[in-house]
Amino acid sequence: MTIFSWAFLAFQGIESIGASVLPSTPRAGEPVAIVLKHRQSVPEGCFGISGQRAVCIVGIPVDSRGLHAVDVGGEQVVVKLVPRKDRKGHVVFRVRTPKPSIAKGLADAGTAPVDGPVNGREAIRAATSVSAPKRLWSAPFEWPAEGGGHPFGVVRSYTRYRDGKLEKKWKGRHLGVDIGARRGSRVKATNDGRVILTGHFFGTGRCVYLDHGLGLFTMYFHLDAIDVKTGDTVKRGQTIGRVGSTGSSTAPHLHWEARIGRTSIDPTRLIPLSRKLAKLSKSPAHRGHSGFVTTGSVGARRLSRPNIPTVSR
């Protein structure tokens, strides 16, 4: 698409194609609801609400700037982004390597941890490659643990020392929200969903992955204990684990993360967005209007990446 085409789409506005955007002034890294009006059927990956409207929640990549095009139900919506100011931070990891004699002695005695961390990259990719074909949540999202959260999207510089010696330095964007909380305090499901993965992995430590349907996932890292298992159905506010400091962590806290498809979004913005959507429809379950006919069973169309297929779990 040329710059002139983008400018034209932005000029004509989303109202001209029968759509609106929530929030009206989105920032990169936020979840955005595209509300399609006067619909006799629900496009793929969307859900229906009263007044013959369909809603598709999409993720805006955190590094996006200016105008961003969204393909929803075969129609293109251009979202104008409010400039985002990046914050910076610094994290220091201090790691000690167990002495070989101690590690061998634990293994020989059969007392080595049986749930030690493993590389979970493939398991995570497989679990989040599919999503339920319908929305599993209804009420607004809620905060998952006690305590305040460190902002999403901070550009961090990391330093790791091993046995007192500098091992590595690197930079990266922190694509989650760190909530400072007491070790052992409750971690709650932020909304209804299904447990698609639990594990103890390098980096994330003990973790729980929830699928909320239509490509929306929330994740909970560095847990001290996990209180659910893969395949469980959970309700909003249900305890799914306990705050800890497992994995790449410097102190007890909860790392709370959310993705729409493969796009990481600020999980805290799901709370006000879902509250606004609740006001759009008087139906408690938000499961559509009698004038809607749901079509297809593939995941919501997402931004700048392949669709996420859906399966009935």
What is the DSSP code (8-state) at residue 298?
Answer: S
Task: Count the domains in the chain.
Answer: 1
Q: Which residues contact 307 (CB under 8 A, 6 or more apart)?
A: 45, 261, 298, 299, 300, 301
φ/ψ of 110, rounded to 5, equals 75, 20
pTM, to two decimals: 0.79
- Cβ burial, residue 138 (10 Å; 0-12/13-18/19+): middle
In a domain, 118, yes or no: no
In a domain, 211, yes or no: no
In a domain, 49, yes or no: yes
Report, as an integer, the average pLDDT of 255-279: 95
52 and 38 in contact (C-beta within 8 Å)?
yes
In a domain, 124, yes or no: no
In a domain, 294, yes or no: no
What are the pLDDT digits (tens) for 190-207? 999 999 999 999 889 999
- pLDDT of amino acid 39: 79
Q: Which domain holds residue 77?
A: 3-85+270-280
In a domain, 59, yes or no: yes
* Joined tokens for residue 309: 């297929």
- pLDDT of amino acid 95: 55
- pLDDT of amino acid 225: 97
In a domain, 71, yes or no: yes
CATH of the domain at 21: 2.60.40
% the chain with pLDDT above 70: 74
In a domain, 253, yes or no: no
d(CA 248, CA 237): 26
